[in-house]
Amino acid sequence: MPSAFRPLVLSLALLVVLAPGVVMSDWRIEDQSPAQAPDAPFVHERKLVSREGAGGSARQKAIDLVWFHASTHTFAIIDNGPAGATRYSGLAEAMRKNEALAGCNGGFFHPDHSPSGLMVAGEEATGRFGQGGLLSGVLLSSGRRNPYLLRRAEYDAGKYKATDLIQSGPFLVDRGVTVKGLSPENSRRRTFVLHDGGKWFALGLSDAFTLAELGDILAQPGLSPARKVHRALNLDGGTSSGLYLDRGSPGGGIAVEPVKTVRNFVAIVPR
């Protein structure tokens, strides 16, 4: 190759590497998923994540994912009731009493325990459809029991006829790419919902990460090779975070309770 063309080729190569949407990352992801029966209704994946730093690798942090297929299961929103009249002692009790084998905490709520944005639980609506970054996503089960993870602008009440719905945010991943502008501050435990763009959805719980870190990790192709993350939506985190998978499930299940009382829960239920 003539030397005159080499700087141009190198410049073009650099542009490809640094093009918008291409994630440069040094995350190390180790699969620690438990053994499970091939006919189990859910797929439980556990990942141990670390990152190379100036002083060497940071300690490993865990991410648990509970995947389900939309042909057999969907989302249900369980209302925990207003302040002073809560219905359940915690996440596990809410799941058991509603015959759900898996679930997590739900969306954000105000100090008076009213839900942020719109909540629909068992076809009963509470609150109003809201705006803002923490309400940018819509998780729902339609009148036909199909699960959806939508951008707020994509939601149409007449079209989807939601039986169960919460708003939350921000989006962490969209179209397989980490969403720009996520906060690099406030590392905390987090819960989230995933969609592979097809028929697979998941609820997830992570150890303490910033929103920017978690968005970067969830967009990594090696996180869940069998089910790529197309969209990821943040749910209420920190002391609200919890994840439940029935202890009778292969691999021993999961039982992480929210520290504080939450307004609602997201359950995975049979269609």
What are the phi and psi torsion angles at 152 (to 5°)? -55, -40
Q: Which of 47-56, 88-97, 194-203, 240-249 has the lowest mean pLDDT?
A: 47-56
Per the CB < 8 A criterion, the answer to whether 40 and 249 are in contact is: yes
Strand partners, 68: 201
**Percentage of residues in the chain with pLDDT exceeding 70?**
89
DSSP state of 190: E
Confidence of residue 248 (pLDDT cuts 50, 70, 90): confident
Q: How do the residues of the chain divide into helix, strand and coil, expressed in percent and rounded to 5?
A: 15, 40, 45
Cα angle: 263, vertex 41, 149; to 5 degrees: 50
Measured in residues, the chain has a length of 271
pLDDT digits (tens, 9 = 90+) for 36-49: 888 899 999 999 99
Q: Give the Cα separation of 146 and 238 in Å (integer).
A: 29
Q: Give the Cα separation of 152 and 180 in Å (integer).
A: 17
pLDDT digits (tens, 9 = 90+) for 103-123: 999 999 999 999 999 999 999
Give Cα 53 to chain centroid, integer Å.
Answer: 26
Tokens describing residue 147: 């699960």
**pTM summary value:** 0.88
- Reduce the DSSP state of residue 97 to 3 states and report it: helix
pLDDT reported for residue 19: 34
Per the CB < 8 A criterion, the answer to whether 128 and 118 are in contact is: yes
Helix (H) or strand (E) holding 54: none
Q: Give the Cα separation of 146 and 159 in Å (integer).
A: 12
Residue of 166, 86, 137, 205 whose CA lies nearest to 218: 205
| Amino acid occupying residue 201 | F
Confidence of residue 77 (pLDDT cuts 50, 70, 90): very high
What are the phi and psi torsion angles at 198 (to 5°)? -120, -115
